[in-house]
Structure 1
Amino acid sequence: MNSKSYIGISLVILVFGIIFIPKIIDRITNDEVVKNDRLNIGRELPKSDELSYIELYGENKKVPDFQFVNQNGDTISNKDYLGKVYVVEFFFTTCPSICPIMNKNLVEVEKELGKNEDFGIVSISIDPVHDTPEVLKEYAENYEIDNPNWNFLTGDKEDIYTLANKGFGIFANTDETVPGGFAHSGLFALIDREGYVRSRLDNYGNPIIYYKGSIERGVSVLEGEEEPQIDILIEDLRKLL
């Protein structure tokens, strides 16, 4: 390659640097690359007041079929909640850590929305051997829960774990190394009237998928800590209702 070719290439690189590099730096500084390019190429973000569907293999994800027994000994399935907007959680009654926070939060949600007959809650025990209908009934009474649309469910352990881990993708398992002997994520799933899993979008236009239920509503958090999500869950339930 002769000297003229080297000069020509150098001029092209110089022009590119003068024109485009300042623009790239400016976009990175304003966080536009992350917000607009990485995640949202070729699609328009939903409006802020819209809730997203959760796509799985190209289809909107529905709540998996389930059928268990509630605290009153009645058989309850997902079909009983069609036409209602509801929250699903996985918990166990002897949990010494996050479950009391989760259900305290859900009591707050119920106080806000419980008068609406189209609102419900499904609490599924991951310790069905201990959590019989009688135990669940006493647990519900201790929380002063009398909403007929809030069912505490128990049933076959394998079916429950399949529903949690494979159906919802909400982790639940036995673990003797943690307090209470069971490990779970403390997440809430939001289900619409047609049985679809719904979610609000984060700042980058992605669905948050599930709502963090294990952080107490109204508590102050330090910088870098996770924020409570009960208020946004209530907001999104109101949108669907």
Structure 2
Amino acid sequence: MNAPQFYKINSILSVILFLAFAGLLGSCTNTQKTKNSLPIFGERMAIKKVQNGKIIVDTIFHRIPDFGFINQDSQQVTERTFARKIYVSDFFFTSCPTICPKMRTQLQRVYQQFKNNNQVLLLSHTLDPERDSVAVLRDYAQSMGVSSKKWHFVTDAKDSIYAIASKYMVAATENSKKGGLIHSGALVLIDTNRHVRGIYDGTKPEQVDYLLADIQTLLAEKNLSHTFN
């Protein structure tokens, strides 16, 4: 899987965001994995604890924090909505003329492949909450013919959205020009423990091929865990 590529809305800031994000992945990504598993992305912390009279070292991995947003049906969406689910997260805005239409096309592939699998959901956050109201998001979702039970388009206070974007390791910022936004085309794969398990270029079909395959890997991992538990 190749590292996600970033697209230029403002050339200087886009380069800065790309370099910062590439450095984050290079320094913080878990690359230790077995043949049939996916890495866990993000920072980790080793902690010591006593178990059965022995000191053992445990690893705490990066985890998507609790959140609360409003979706296209005016329903609250929280981390509990995705409990025990695998989901794909992205950041967009409905008036985006550049990479968002490409991301939308590729996300529809994900939706179509897993629309009958209740273990897989999609979560799209608007980066332009001032214009992307609940009504706008509802019209946008309806134009795609997707179910709000499967694919949540969410909005909230701008600060909250940009804060959670960083937890998904997605580059997003406002342009100095009025109404300008800079963001990556990343699609982020989250497992049932809220760990980031993959980051993909959502504008490239071959990258989304990897995403589709990796979702199947997580489904197998989830079902295997359920079998042993």
TM-score, structure 2 normalization: 0.72
Matched residue, 1:168: 168
Matched residue, 1:235: 213
- When the two chains are superposed, the root-mean-square deviation of aligned CA atoms in Å is 1.9
Matched residue, 1:91: 92
The 3-state SS of whatever aligns with 1:139 is helix
* Contact in 2 for aligned 1:64/1:168 (Cα 8 Å): no
Shift of the alpha carbon at 1:45?
4.9
Q: Distance in 2 between matches of 1:152 and 1:49?
A: 32
Which protein has the larger Cα radius of gyration, Structure 1 or Structure 2?
A: 1
1:156-197 CA-partner distances (Å, limit 9, x unpaired): 0011111113x222111111559x721101101111112221
1:53 to 37, 40, 43: 40
Normalized per residue, the structure richer in strand is: 2
Shift of the alpha carbon at 1:73?
0.2
Q: Distance in 2 between matches of 1:235 and 1:61?
A: 23
Shift of the alpha carbon at 1:198?
1.1
For 1:193-212, list aligned pairs within 5 A. 193-199=192-198, 210-212=199-201
Structure 1 residues without counterparts, runs of 5 or longer: 1-38, 200-209, 218-227
Aligned residues: 176
Shift of the alpha carbon at 1:125?
0.3
1:214 to 190, 196, 203: 203
1:72-122 CA-partner distances (Å, limit 9, x unpaired): 000001121011110010000000000111111000111111110111000
**AA in 1 matched with 2:158:** K
Q: Distance in 1 between matches of 2:160 and 2:39?
A: 28
Relative distance call for 1:138 and 1:46 in structure 2 (3 A) is same
* Contact in 1 for aligned 2:85/2:119 (Cα 8 Å): yes
The 3-state SS of whatever aligns with 2:152 is strand
Q: Determine whether 1:66 maps to 2:67.
A: yes
Relative distance call for 1:174 and 1:62 in structure 2 (3 A) is same
* Contact in 1 for aligned 2:88/2:190 (Cα 8 Å): yes
Identity of aligned residues (%): 32
Structure 2 residues without counterparts, runs of 5 or longer: 1-25, 46-59, 220-229
TM-score, structure 1 normalization: 0.69
**Greater than 3 Å deviation, 4+ residue runs:** none
Q: Distance in 1 between matches of 2:184 and 2:102?
A: 13
